[in-house]
Amino acid sequence: MPDTAVAPIDDHPSENEAGLIFQHVARQRIKLLDAFLAPHGLTSAQVYLLNRLLREDGRTQVELARLLGIGTVAVSGMVDRLEAADWVERRPDGKDRRTKRVFLKASATSKKHVLSEAAAQVNALSFETLSEPEVEQLLSLMRRVRGNLRDALAGELPTLVRD
Amino acid sequence: MPDTAVAPIDDHPSENEAGLIFQHVARQRIKLLDAFLAPHGLTSAQVYLLNRLLREDGRTQVELARLLGIGTVAVSGMVDRLEAADWVERRPDGKDRRTKRVFLKASATSKKHVLSEAAAQVNALSFETLSEPEVEQLLSLMRRVRGNLRDALAGELPTLVRD
DNA sequence: GGCATTCTGTTCGCATCCTAATTATAAAGG
DNA sequence: CCTTTATAATTAGGATGCGAACAGAATGCC
């Protein structure tokens, strides 16, 4: 077995909890989703993109970037890999020769059920011990934090204390 | 200017919000922290490690992995880069010839203020519009989610629906 | 004592994300 | 029309994280 995994994350109620817990949760969710998807030859990020296309096929790469909250460079690489594995294909736009639209191929649409179910399972396990109102509250607070961060990244950064 | 950044994340209250918001928040926090640290030649992950050493210097790499919630491979690479940039140094353990302990160098300890202040600033901006009790509740819920995910990753994975 | 097991750290290869810079195309203004 | 500006996608290069597989050292059990 791999000797790289190092076991439980520290649980001390130390002040750095606030600093790392967001990253821990995000990474653990990715890990769990990857475990579900590995048998199907997919990764978590790829499934987020495919699920997006299942809802509205034929998006441009810029649209996908916006919808997924990542940059166009990341989309470009992911579509490369998805195309190489025959999950999607790029097609020219017709009206604008710069843009390429991404379409699902049959291999992807036939796995529709797996894709949405995997994401749902991760949510179910994440929120297992939370009540319905608690989940709502958590998501509501997270949306507000995301808004704060968006504002902070959009504006001028306050200067740090002098070195 | 860079044309890779693609602007605001979609704000539709769609059902995938739960699926991506954790990653959005984690990544935005990293981005903000990186912006603060770039002038000092540091990255966010490096500062998490350095801050850990500021609290207790001379940890082994396995201890650091546990405290940071990452694998030993990731720690190895990060210590490589930190050592190359002269922020830390590895020293043998004396009792156990396998282990290497990581110590801060003067260049790091002299920036102590910057390191902790940057992390504090990111928290302040993240929680700007939240009241004190709301922050507490958010962190409490996040800790429970982390616990759920830890359990899920430790146990047997439920099998997905058939393809 | 000796051999199997466990543990620490590393190297390798990969996926994902970033910024900066480049190419190609489209749109806008004089 | 033609120059400037904006947009879509890509390439190049780096950081972070993972799992697999390995070497070397410690430990445990007979």
Task: State the DSSP string of A4-55.
Answer: ----SPP----TTHHHHHHHHHHHHHHHHHHHHHGGGT--HHHHHHHHHHHH
For the cut 70, the answer to whether the pLDDT of residue B161 exceeds it is no
Q: What is the pLDDT of residue B18?
A: 78
- Residue A7 CA: distances (Å) to CA of A27, A80, A98, B99, B147: 14, 34, 47, 18, 13
More confident residue, A158 or A62: A62
For the cut 80, the answer to whether the pLDDT of residue B12 exceeds it is no
More confident residue, B12 or B155: B155
Q: Note whether A47 contacts B: Cβ–Cβ < 8 A.
A: no
Q: What is the pLDDT of residue B160?
A: 56
Listed as ranges, the nucleotides of chain D within 7 A of a protein C-beta are 7-13, 15-27
Measured between alpha carbons, how far is B114 from B109 in angstroms, rounded to an integer? Answer: 10
Residue–nucleotide distance: A65 CA to C23 C1' (Å): 20
Dihedral-angle region of residue B80 (phi above 0 means left; psi in -120 to 50 means alpha; beta otherwise) = alpha
pLDDT bin (cut points 50, 70, 90) of residue B159 is: low
Give the 3-state secondary structure of residue A102. strand
For the cut 60, the answer to whether the pLDDT of residue A93 exceeds it is yes
CB A161 within 8 A of CB B39: no
| Å between B94 CA and nearest CA of chain A | 23
For the cut 70, the answer to whether the pLDDT of residue B14 exceeds it is no
Q: What is the pLDDT of residue A64?
A: 97
Measured between alpha carbons, how far is B5 from B161 in angstroms, rounded to an integer? Answer: 37
pLDDT bin (cut points 50, 70, 90) of residue B94 is: confident
| Å between A16 CA and nearest CA of chain B | 9
Which residues are bridge partners to A88 per DSSP? A104
Cα A62 vs. chain centroid, distance in angstroms? Answer: 16
DSSP B128: T
For the cut 60, the answer to whether the pLDDT of residue B150 exceeds it is yes
Dihedral-angle region of residue B86 (phi above 0 means left; psi in -120 to 50 means alpha; beta otherwise) = left
CB B9 within 8 A of CB A145: no
Residue–nucleotide distance: B91 CA to C1 C1' (Å): 33
Contacts with B151 from chain A: Cβ below 8 Å: 128
Residue–nucleotide distance: B161 CA to D15 C1' (Å): 36
CA of A42: nucleotide with nearest C1': C15
